[in-house]
Structure 1
Amino acid sequence: MITTATLEDVLSLEKLINSAYRGETSKQGWTTEANLLSGKRITLDELEQIIKNKNNTILKYTKNNQIIGSVLLVNKKSKLYLGMLTVSPELQNSGIGKILLKEAEVHAFSLGLPKIVMTVISIRKELIEWYKRHGYEDTGIREPFLLNDTDAIISKEPLEFIVLEKIL
């Protein structure tokens, strides 16, 4: 079941997102950043601020009263920004990510937004290809990778973001 996350979900979301992106547990899935970055992907405070912002929506995918997937959607007035698409590492490749992407499109339509944009670390080739198979295209735009307080780069390759978009 997909519903909108609330402040009561912050603890579960923080655990899920960090387990899918960083650390040893993330290596169970194919979307890990553990070989690129160390530190937390997100903090409890950051999640609280995201949820409190009226332009943001976090959709959560719940099964058996447990959050096993989520996605951040940000209303940018002329487009919807999609970020932190997360699926529990042991459940990746089960279709949950695809379902959350479709739900993001429904959300964009409900807001009258004509496209969805996202940023992906440019050396994440397999992830970029997955998004391309779901209709996202490389815009040619690159953005710098800026560290937050909890990140540490461990990649030998330079990091930057590639901007992908899907016209709806």
Structure 2
Amino acid sequence: MQNVRIRPWVPSDDVQELTRLLHRAYRPLLEMGLHFTATSQPEEVTIDRISQGETYVAECDGKIVGTITLVGPGGVNRRAPALYSDPDVCYFTQFAVEPDLQRAGIGRALLSHVEARACELGAKSIALDTSELAHHLIQLYERWGYQIVATHSWGAPVNYRSVVMAKSIERGAL
């Protein structure tokens, strides 16, 4: 993970390139037949999702190579899992790393950053959701300390049931 820095998204960043990064990173899930929002979202949806929380990017040599958006605590999304509206819970979304740079520690660095930030915001837990069919992602999050706590159905155009996973982040738990 050489020369990578984590920083907040700024309005001058290229939303088109961020959207393309999301499409590239989520392409294997689309090839599995899973319709995650990030597999094909237009730039307008990327902007909307960025505006729902704090977005961070991993930058290497001036290029954005990863991203994650932290929402909450008590983030509001009427279609979201009930846990996401809990005032003690933050959640993250739009988590992606450039495919050629995956398994280099960039994703873990992004996630560690938002876990620490969620703790600063007073959250006791941080949560996520992913397809129950994305076994590789579930296993990854379990290795990182997350546990399945619920399931959720988003409805169309999402074509799978999600598992909701959470991790305690109270001071001293990280």
2: CA distance, partners of 1:6 / 1:14: 15
Percent same amino acid among aligned pairs?
Answer: 25
2: CA distance, partners of 1:137 / 1:37: 22
Secondary structure at 2:122 match in 1: coil
State whether residues 7 and 51 of structure 1, in contact with CA within 8 Å, keep that contact through their aligned partners in structure 2: no
Q: Letter of the aligned partner of 2:9 in structure 1? A: A
Q: Letter of the aligned partner of 1:62 in structure 2? A: E
State whether residues 71 and 91 of structure 2, in contact with CA within 8 Å, keep that contact through their aligned partners in structure 1: yes
Select the residue among 143, 153, 161 that pairs with 2:152: 143
Quick check: 1:84 aligned with 2:94? yes
Secondary structure at 1:49 match in 2: helix
1: CA distance, partners of 2:90 / 2:16: 25
Select the residue among 117, 125, 128 that pairs with 1:118: 128
Shift of 1:84: 2.0
Instruction: Provide Cα deviations, 1:31-69, integer angstroms capped at 9, x if missing partner.
Output: x3322236843221112223334xx01110000110000
State whether residues 50 and 69 of structure 2, in contact with CA within 8 Å, keep that contact through their aligned partners in structure 1: no
Secondary structure at 1:94 match in 2: coil
Q: Letter of the aligned partner of 2:163 in structure 1? A: I
2: CA distance, partners of 1:51 / 1:20: 17
Select the residue among 55, 59, 63 that pairs with 1:62: 59
Q: Which residue does the alignment assign to 2:26?
A: 21
Select the residue among 143, 148, 151 that pairs with 1:133: 143
Provide TM-score, normalisation by structure 2. 0.78
Which stretches in structure 2 are left out of the alignment for 5+ residues?
Answer: 75-86, 170-174
- The count of residues paired between Structure 1 and Structure 2 equals 149
State whether residues 129 and 162 of structure 2, in contact with CA within 8 Å, keep that contact through their aligned partners in structure 1: yes
Instruction: Provide Cα deviations, 1:113-144, integer angstroms capped at 9, x if missing partner.
Output: 111011110011111010000000011x1111
Q: Letter of the aligned partner of 1:8 in structure 2? A: S
Q: Structure 1 runs of 4+ off > 6 angstroms? A: none
Shift of 1:82: 1.1
Q: Which residue does the alignment assign to 1:37?
A: 34
Which stretches in structure 1 are left out of the alignment for 5+ residues?
Answer: 154-158
Q: Which residue does the alignment assign to 1:156?
A: none
Provide TM-score, normalisation by structure 1. 0.81
State whether residues 7 and 48 of structure 1, in contact with CA within 8 Å, keep that contact through their aligned partners in structure 2: no
Instruction: Provide Cα deviations, 1:59-82, integer angstroms capped at 9, x if missing partner.
Output: 100001100000111112321111
